[in-house]
Amino acid sequence: MKLRRYEGNPILKPKPENDWESKNVFNPAVVYNKGLFHLLYRGMGRDGISRIGYAVSIDGFNFLRLDKPVISPKRILEPRGCEDPRVVTIEDIFYMTYTAYSERGVRIGLATSKNFIQWERYEIEWAERDDKDAVLFPEKIGGKYVLLHRPMHKEPMGIWIAYSDDLIEWYGEREIMAPCENWEEKKIGAGAPPIKTEKGWLLMYHGVDGDMIYRLGAAMLSLDDPSEILYRHPEPILEPEADYEIRGEVPNVVFACGACEVRGKYYVYYGGADSVVCAATVDKEEMLGIFPSSGI
């Protein structure tokens, strides 16, 4: 099973007239809300600093975008950039996790909004170490917020889980997925936030091999205990093949930060070669068909 690329890819390209996104646009999050696709994407200008932009669409492919970023780096928190947003909706509030880049390294950033345009940022109390690829589950599980993330203090890098009562202090950290296939031997990380299905939590993640080729994989996590991996598809569901995925700022990269379910179909949004924003789709039934009903 492979995701099907939108024939009109890429759906967003850099805009030379907007300095903040004049060089690259990539790694988008998505929320489907009230009949609209809301895209939050990473834009980079000639200064090399990432900011987060906003675009909206009726059909999921043709987007109108704001000329100004909705999140720009704060001097104290992330002076070197705000990268790779992921967004979920919990109790009518939009929660964004992103990579906050500063002189200290990369940390997990958190912001909330009620309208996608105005965002309030929070400082997460986390260990002083490099950490990224953070995604929240779109609902509390067992009364707790649940987060997947990737600490960068050991290799090969895997996916970890953590829990919180208030989104500020986190506990119960441990690794739940490690690289196992050749196409993901170097590192893996959460992609889009998990999607709830009748079989479990569908997690689309990225895997990187020894040649630094980024591919997308899929796994199913237990609904009641998302630290339990029910099944892990052995083959990638998307890999760099199109020209806009092979050639760019960073070649041979497909990197998804957003996916949503709309009318029986999954829409997956990803960055191609760290240069453009792309879309792919797959029927829900086809995607879930790669996972056994009883898990492993």
Q: Is there a domain that residue 295 lies in?
A: no
Distance CA(191)–CA(203), nearest Å, equals 7
Q: Is there a domain that residue 251 lies in?
A: yes
Write the DSSP string, 248-266: SSSSS-EEEEEEEEETTEE
Contact 31, 87 (CB under 8 A): yes
Q: Is there a domain that residue 93 lies in?
A: yes
Domains contained in the chain, number: 1
Q: Is there a domain that residue 244 lies in?
A: yes
Q: Is there a domain that residue 189 lies in?
A: yes
What's the length of the chain? Answer: 296
CA atoms lying within 13 Å on the CB side of residue 228? 9
Which CATH number is 68's domain given? Answer: 2.115.10.20
> Would you give per-residue pLDDT tens digits along the chain (296 residues)?
999 999 999 999 999 999 999 999 999 999 999 999 999 999 999 999 999 999 999 999 999 999 999 999 988 889 999 999 999 999 999 999 999 999 889 999 999 999 999 999 987 777 778 999 999 999 999 999 999 999 998 788 999 999 999 998 999 999 999 999 999 999 999 999 999 999 999 999 999 999 999 999 999 999 999 999 999 999 999 999 999 999 999 999 999 999 999 999 999 999 999 999 999 999 999 999 999 975 44
216 Cβ contact partners less than 8 Å away, ≥ 6 residues apart:
3, 191, 204, 205, 206, 207, 236, 237, 238, 239, 254, 256, 268, 270
45-59-95-171 Cα dihedral, nearest 10 degrees:
-100
Q: Is there a domain that residue 296 lies in?
A: no
* Containing structural domain, residue 256: 4-288
Distance CA(51)–CA(189), nearest Å, equals 21
Which of 136, 92, 97 lies closest to 114, judged by CA? 92
Q: Is there a domain that residue 294 lies in?
A: no
Distance CA(262)–CA(176), nearest Å, equals 29
Q: Is there a domain that residue 9 lies in?
A: yes
Read off the tokens for 70.
Answer: 């909705």
